[in-house]
Chain A
Amino acid sequence: MARTYLLLAWTWLRASAQYPVPLVMMVLGSFVLTGMDVAAIWIVFGHTRSLGGFALAEVMFLYGTAGVSFGLADLLFGNVDRLSQHIRAGTFDAMLIRPASAFVQVATDRFSVQRFGRLAQAAVVLAVALPRLDPPWSRIWMVPVMIVCGVVIFASIFTIGGAMQFLLTDAPEVSNAFTYGGSTLTQYPLTVYGGDLVRAVTFIVPLAFVNWQPALYVLDRDDPFGLPYGLRFAAPAAALVLALAAALAWRAGIRRYRSTGS
């Protein structure tokens, strides 16, 4: 499956390299577009020294970890949110009869180098923010763990959003609220959002485990909402549960899928 993925992704990359000018513009556009979010945080901190009890470097750390996770998940599986286009155009039927996983084919379809722009931008922010915080080595091991868990969580949300499009073929934008909405939500400390929303993203859609709970451990801070200390180490479990749910949702979607037949 991984081999098929790499083969298809490489094929699409070579195809997109045939038009170098739009390619470069799209990478730049993606880099700058996602950079706008950093600029927004920068401007906000031009007016205040702390937001929701967190300083600039800490918010940038949250932004960087969430951005790298989301960027990787978007790079690898973001195309799944185009499923409804494939269903409407009938190209999904063609994918189903090919001797390769339909999920891999949807994920790699038009695999585009532009998504590297988002990832690169977030990686730069993280690389700048982390030395400023200078967390002890005894805590820094959590950073790669949280990034991997974040990738799994966002990839699962992309997959669930894709699976929803089997039902909501005419309204694919709903899944953007969860995928890109999740990315926006995790860019800021959850203290700005208030208790109800935080409980929802801790216990229902586990976005709090992308960066918030592990970051409390890395930064060695008390939980402003008074949730149990153990939750800081729960990211792998949350990622696993969500991945299982995503796999089930995708299978359920494929099973109930009926071609338009035309």
Chain B
Amino acid sequence: MPSRHPEEAVFPPRTRLRPHPRLSLYARLAGYGFRRHSAYRAAALAGAFTNTVFGILRAHVLIALWEARPGLAGYDVADAVTFCFLGQAFIGPMQLLGGGVQLAERVRSGDVAVDLLRPASLQAWNLADDLGRAGYLFLLRSVPPTLAGAALFGIVTPAHLATWAFFTASFVLGVVVSFGWRYLVALSSFWIVDDRGTQALSMVMAMFFSGMVLPLNLFPGWFGTLAQSLPWAAMVQVPADVYLGKRDALEALGFQALWAAALLALGALATRAARRKVVVQGG
């Protein structure tokens, strides 16, 4: 039996500064995302192996091209090889081959009803989980291919501490842009139940327009300009250029932040539309 009516509850005065409850919720979600993915260590290492093999194959093609055309697009051979292995290293954290957001499956199975009832934003919830995932995959799928590339071909490392700091920020922003896009793709399953088609098209765009297949600065004319201004450029081309010091860092970060904000805002609007759209089947 409560000694006092619940509405009279008196909260103890705060004695020390505590993190905002929302922020600590999302921080914990990110932690859980990290731990959930750490259950699939063998799969992550297998992915790192495959990324390394593809890195080696693509590096040879780029070396052949840059030996035929030294200094092409402002890169030398070492820059091109570094670019190639960075691209492979980004596949895991930026989830360039699609997926990562489990929302689509949950829409199909109806579990999304539970997600929508939670007293937290669906989008922020998924973002936190995705950042945790990216953190884990960075350790297991980004570091090994980069080290393998360094050992086999030798890669460029930034000399200035500032470049490392800018690169870290650019990398995180790249993950957020990638999430913003994948979240929209996953939300499409509210309207198109079978999302495999949208996923396939999304993968095409991400692979080609991120710069993973070929650096975007090799693309000719207006096509190159277009590719450089699309959101996928923020996932590989821009962070890699920041790493190589080939691009004004603040301008690059601004470009990424703009796309991150735009995609997240679009995602928030689409989430609101989806909430009205959703019909949960079953009793």
CB pair B60–A48 under 8 Å, yes or no, is: no
Min CB distance B89 to A, Å, is 15
Complex interface bits, B9-46 against A, C-beta within 8 A gives 1, otherwise 0: 00000000000000000000000000000001011011
State which residues 168-189 of A face B: CB under 8 Å. Answer: 168, 170-174, 176-177, 181, 184-185, 188
> Given contacts A22-B196, A29-B203, A174-B49, are A44 and B60 in contact (CB under 8 A)?
no
Q: Give me the 3 closest cross-chain CB pairs, A-B, nearest first.
A: A25-B197, A29-B200, A171-B46
| A181 to B46 Cα, complex, angstroms | 13
| A192 to B60 Cα, complex, angstroms | 6
Main secondary structure on chain B at its contact with chain A? helix
CB pair B61–A192 under 8 Å, yes or no, is: yes
Which of B65, B198, B200 has the most chain A CB atoms closer than 10 A to its own CB?
B200
What total of A-B pairs shows CB separation below 8 Å?
109
CB pair A173–B49 under 8 Å, yes or no, is: yes
Min CB distance B249 to A, Å, is 27
Known: A36-B207, A52-B64. 8 other contacts (CB 8 A): A46-B220, A48-B68, A50-B68, A168-B46, A174-B46, A188-B61, A192-B61, A192-B63
Count how many chain B residues have C-beta atoms less than 8 Å from C-beta atoms of the other chain: 38
| A177 to B56 Cα, complex, angstroms | 11
Nearest B residue (CB) for A33 = B204
Min CB distance B223 to A, Å, is 9
B219 close to A (CB within 8 Å):
yes
Count how many chain A residues have C-beta atoms less than 8 Å from C-beta atoms of the other chain: 42
> Given contacts A33-B203, A43-B220, A51-B65, are A21 and B43 in contact (CB under 8 A)?
no
Complex interface bits, A10-46 against B, C-beta within 8 A gives 1, otherwise 0: 0000000001011111101110110011011001101
A194 close to B (CB within 8 Å):
yes
Q: Which residues of B sit under 8 angstroms from A28, Cβ to Cβ? A: 201
